[in-house]
């Protein structure tokens, strides 16, 4: 019954009413053909899922009265996936979509020393995140952030335990995360530069191997997250 959970932006949720807009409203009205009186579920991406009854509906807006609220507390353990911008758009988007499914709390894309410059369509990225968030039934919507260098990443995410997937690291068996806030770093197609590796080492970064095979950047990002699936 909770198969179809819509997204209601927190700004569009009040004590007893919520509104779906944009593609969520179109989907409810045109594709699923909801009508006034029907019940729906909506998540605000901040841990709350609402059961609500449609009071008015059009292609652009759906108002619904909240009947029940189910809340999931914010996890204490967080995994932020940080990866160097991947030039090929489909591979970059694949990595982001799968990172949401695999439980990244936040996803940070940065211009690595060896990243090839390419334009990222942030709106398109947001819609990929939203649809993966709904599909995987997550309750907290991951944010995507963009940074212009690894230096900025490390400054932005201070107080995080940093783990770098490095092709030259010694083989390692997966361990559980021992800190609450974790920054998981993966390089772009061209790998991390010496400068970036040194910078990370200065910040007490844990270097890990993802096995003996050299993985493509997007595979490495997903392998990295998959090491820690049971820490939410």
Site stretch for ligand SAM (CB under 6 A), options 4-12, 60-68, 154-162, 214-222: 214-222
Q: Smallest gap, in angstroms, from Cβ of residue 166 to ligand SAM?
A: 6
Q: Which of 118, 110, 119 is nearest to 200 (CA)?
A: 110
Closest residue by Cα to residue 155 from 190, 202, 116, 194: 202
Question: What track of x and - describes contact with ligand SAM for positions 192 through 211 (by CB under 6 A)?
Answer: x----------------xxx
Residues 135 to 174 in contact with ligand SAM, rule: CB under 6 A? 165-167
To ligand SAM, the closest distance from the beta carbon of 169 in angstroms equals: 6
Long-range contacts of range 157-160, CB-CB < 8 Å, 24 or more positions apart? Answer: 157/80, 157/82, 157/108, 157/181, 157/183, 160/80
Q: Which is nearer to ligand SAM, 124 or 214 (CB)?
A: 214
| Neighbour tally for 147: CB within 10 Å | 18
Provide the minimum distance between the beta carbon of 161 and ligand SAM in the complex, in angstroms, as a whole number. Answer: 17
Is the alpha carbon torsion for 85, 112, 194, 97 positive or negative?
Answer: negative
Binding site for ligand SAM (CB under 6 A): 165-167, 186-187, 189, 191-192, 209-211, 213-217, 220
């Amino acid at each position: 019954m909770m198969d179809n959970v819509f997204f209601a932006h927190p700004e569009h949720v009040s004590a007893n009413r919520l509104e779906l807009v944009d593609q969520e409203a179109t989907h409810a009205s045109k594709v699923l053909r909801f009508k006034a009186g029907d019940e729906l579920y909506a998540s605000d991406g901040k841990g709350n899922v609402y059961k609500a009854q449609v009071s008015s509906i059009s292609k652009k807006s759906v108002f619904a009265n909240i009947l029940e609220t189910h809340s999931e507390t914010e996890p204490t353990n967080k995994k932020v996936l940080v990866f160097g911008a991947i030039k090929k758009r489909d591979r970059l988007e694949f990595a982001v979509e799968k990172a949401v499914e695999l439980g990244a709390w936040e996803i940070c894309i940065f211009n690595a020393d060896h990243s090839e410059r390419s334009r990222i369509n942030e709106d398109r990225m947001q819609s990929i995140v939203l649809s993966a968030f709904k599909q995987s039934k997550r309750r907290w919507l991951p944010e995507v952030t963009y940074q212009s260098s690894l230096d900025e990443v490390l400054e932005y995410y201070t107080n995080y335990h940093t783990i770098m997937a490095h092709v030259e690291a010694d083989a390692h068996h997966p361990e559980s995360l021992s800190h609450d806030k974790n920054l998981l770093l993966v390089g772009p197609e061209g790998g991390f530069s010496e400068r970036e590796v040194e910078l990370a080492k200065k910040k007490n970064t844990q270097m890990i191997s993802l096995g003996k095979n050299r993985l493509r950047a997007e595979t490495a990002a997903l392998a990295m997250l998959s090491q820690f699936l049971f820490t939410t």
